[in-house]
Amino acid sequence: MGSNVSELTTYLAYLNGEWQQSESGEKIAIQSPYLRRTIGYVQAVTQNEVDQAIKNAHQAQKEWAGLSLSKRGSYLLAWADELVNNQEEIALAVMHEVGKGYKDSVKEVVRTADLIRYTVEEALHMHGESLRGDGFPGGPQKKIGIVERMPLGVVLAISPFNYPVNLAASKIAPALMAGNAVIFKPATQGSISGIKMIEALDKAGLPKGLLSLTTGRGSVIGDYLVEHKGIDMISFTGGSSTGRHLSKQSAMIPLVLELGGKDPAIVCDDADLDVAVSSIMNGAFSYSGQRCTAIKRVLVNEKVADELVARLKEAVEKLSVGSPEEDSTVVPLIDDKSADFVQSLIDDALAKQATLVAGNKRKDNLIYPTLLDHVTEEMDVAWIEPFGPVLPIIRVKSDEEAIAIANKSEFGLQASIFTQDVDRAFAVAKEVEAGTVQINGRTERGPDHFPFLGVKASGMGVQGIHNSLVSMSRQRVTVLNLK
Ligand code: NAP
Ligand code: G3H
């Protein structure tokens, strides 16, 4: 599959409904994390081109907002069909560009088509409401409020590298269905996949100017986009430090942030360890832990800790490690810098007397799955998000201690609790500070119509299909005053 990479294609930006070279004349090289070479170039779009794209988006949005929901939906359904029809080509781009296993890359594309279709259905079934004045001045007979949902205008969608198709479409589809235009800024490493996805939308016949794809480094055009007066809402997924920066840069416009996590798996002394082990393994190591929702620490009751660690060790040693082309679970990380960072967390923990159970082996940016036991609160790996295949185990004496350590984290995306006692599960779930708590299952975003949110440094606002449609629209109230 590696030999099929288009040799050094220069991809065009999609501006105002046309595929174009940037006036900058500059292009950015995209390196494959596992082929370890340049696989293509994308355009470095200029601020002037951003201005033009936003201006055209405002013009196109007016007409788009006037279309019926079913007409808007017809473009999106055609887009979903195009994605499915081109799933192999798009999945290959994802695999080459971000090193995700081929089967998982195909799943990402198909999941995206499903998400788009559900978004259309959901939008078609969202209705306004009317209210009476009730006991307030004016009285029940005097005032009727009609509440409708209106688009916001132009939505800026910024996506991360790890789901370059799905986490972009999960912003673009609801933005469009809600009647907005979109400026899409993909992660630089993820741009080629984003371009392939937008090619499918272009083929579906989307009106010109309604969506523009502005490739370019976040550090160069990011602030310009975020601060632009023509942007009416920002939907961002990425790291917490970038999210924090964005929230300072943007002013007086709605902002939804889906950020990093340090999701704990809390394993009680009555847990079904078969369920816990398979969920933790899958949750922690798939795509080398490069998921915001990866299980990033285990808080295990000391009564079952030895057995859990022994079983995790056995499972870690069986993990497939290598190439995304062979669908290995553990694959090279997105770049060498990320691998250096993960290695530094492992080194710090070992220097502070953590027990190495498995791993701590590295080849370039391929970090072998690493299991660390007896991790203490003094070690960085207890708190910092690695975005890599390292799993720290912290032994606790009680549920209360597990909850306290879980909540000491700056993050609050998701948490898992493993117990066979449903009352105990709910008691722990109630105390853990997280957007979602999974009982006897791995931490994960889907199903895609569930609300998806992080608390504390893990985010602001809520995603998930219904909530994205809500956050990308506003209410308009028209009051009928009766005689
Ligand atoms: P990142 O470095 O924060 O980048 C995310 C996006 O922000 C990219 O498109 C990036 O563009 C852009 N960006 C960077 N600086 C910007 C600026 N000043 N203004 C506007 N945009 C800017 O994150 P990542 O490395 O791609 O993804 C990994 C992180 O995302 C992890 O922390 C992970 O937990 C988190 N994540 C969270 C979720 C969630 O739903 N909670 C989902 C996936 C990932 P460039 O690529 O051009 O720099
Ligand atoms: O990386 C962040 C994604 O939102 C995680 O999605 O739980 O479906 O892998 P996932």
Of all atoms in ligand 2, which is nearest to the CA of residue 111? 8
Of 185, 182, 207, nearest to 194 by C-alpha is 185
Handedness of CA 283, 285, 287, 292 (dihedral sign): positive
- At residue 307, the pLDDT reads 98
Give per-residue pLDDT as tens, 325-370: 999 999 999 999 999 999 999 999 999 999 999 999 999 999 999 9
Q: Which helix (H) or strand (E) holds 20?
A: strand 18-20
Name the pLDDT band for 3 (thresholds 50, 70, 90). Answer: very low
**198/337 same-domain check:** no
Residue 483 domain flag? no
- 437 plus 382 within the same structural domain: yes
What percentage of the chain has pLDDT greater than the value 90? Answer: 96
Q: Are residues 251 and 268 in the same domain?
A: no
Q: Is residue 391 part of a domain?
A: yes
> Bridge-partner residues for 372, per DSSP?
356, 392
| Residue 4 confidence class, pLDDT cut points 50, 70, 90 | very low
CATH number at residue 341: 3.40.309.10
For residue 474 the two structure tokens come to: 């506003």
Whether 284 is in a domain gets the answer yes
Distance CA 292, CA 177 (A): 26
pLDDT in tens, 380-393: 999 999 999 999 99
What's 74-136 look like in SS3? Answer: HHHHHHHHHHHHCHHHHHHHHHHHHCCCHHHHHHHHHHHHHHHHHHHHHHHCCCCEEEECCCC
| Shortest-distance Cα residue to atom 2 of ligand 2 | 292
Span 447-473, average pLDDT? 98
Residue 152 domain-assigned (yes or no): yes
Nearest CA to ligand 1 atom 31: 239
Spacing, Cα 154 to ligand 1 middle (Å): 20
The predicted pLDDT at position 7 comes to 59
Q: Output the pLDDT for position 139.
A: 66
Q: What does each C-alpha distance from 405 to 264, 324, 394 come to in angstroms?
A: 9, 35, 9
> What domain range is 398 assigned to?
263-455
Q: Is 408 exposed, middle or buried (0-12, 13-18, 19+ CB in 10 A)?
A: exposed
- And the tokens for 171? 């912003």
Residue 140 has pLDDT above 70, yes or no: no
CB atoms near residue 80 (< 10 Å) = 24
Q: Looking at residue 142, what is its pLDDT?
A: 86
Partners of 358 in beta bridges = 371
Average pLDDT over residues 45-66: 98
d(CA 163, CA 109): 10
User: Do 196 and 275 fall within a single domain?
Assistant: no
Residue 258: active-site member: yes
> What is the predicted pLDDT for the residue at 5?
47
Which residues are within 8 A (CB) of 476 and not within 5 positions of it... i.e. 6 or more apart? Answer: 147, 148, 149, 150
Per-residue model confidence as pLDDT tens digits over 229-252: 999 999 999 999 999 999 999 989
Are residues 406 and 269 part of one domain? yes
Same domain, 99 and 215: yes
Read off the CATH number of the domain in which 207 is found.
3.40.605.10
**Do residues 166 and 40 both lie within one domain?**
yes
- Domain count across the chain: 2
Task: Confirm whether 43 is domain-assigned.
Answer: yes
Categorise residue 272: left if φ over 0, alpha if ψ from -120 to 50, beta otherwise. beta
**373 lies in the same domain as 466:** no
For residue 242, the ligand 1 atom closest to its alpha carbon is 3
Dist. CA 114 → ligand 2 center (Å): 16
Q: Are residues 401 and 470 in the same domain?
A: no
pLDDT, position 134: 86
Q: Look at residue 482 and tell me if it is in a domain.
A: no
**Could you give the percent of the chain with pLDDT greater than 70?**
98
Ligand having the closest approach to the CA of 239: 1
Collapsed DSSP state (helix, strand, coil) of residue 148: strand
**Do residues 220 and 325 share a domain?**
no
10 Å Cβ neighbour count for 216? 27
Is 125 buried (19+), middle (13-18) or exposed (0-12) by CB count in 10 A?
exposed
What's the CA gap between 448 and 112, in Å, rounded? 9
Among candidate residues 82, 258, 385, 444, the one labeled active-site is 258
- Averaged pLDDT of the chain: 96
Each residue's pLDDT tens digit, 291-324? 999 999 999 999 999 999 999 999 999 999 999 9
Tell how far the Cα of 294 is from the centroid of ligand 2, in angstroms: 8
Of 182, 138, 179, 130, which is closest to residue 156 (Cα–Cα)? 182
Going from the Cα of 160 to the center of ligand 1, the distance in angstroms, rounded, reads: 4
Shared domain for 233 and 331, answered yes or no, is no
> In this structure, what token pair is assigned to residue 192?
């080629």
| 345 and 268 in a common domain | yes
Amino acid at 102: Y
Q: Are strands 473-481 and 263-267 parallel, antiparallel or unpaired?
A: unpaired
Within 10 angstroms of residue 324's Cβ, the number of other Cβ atoms is 27
Query: Number of helices (H) and strands (E), helices first, in the chain?
Result: 15, 25
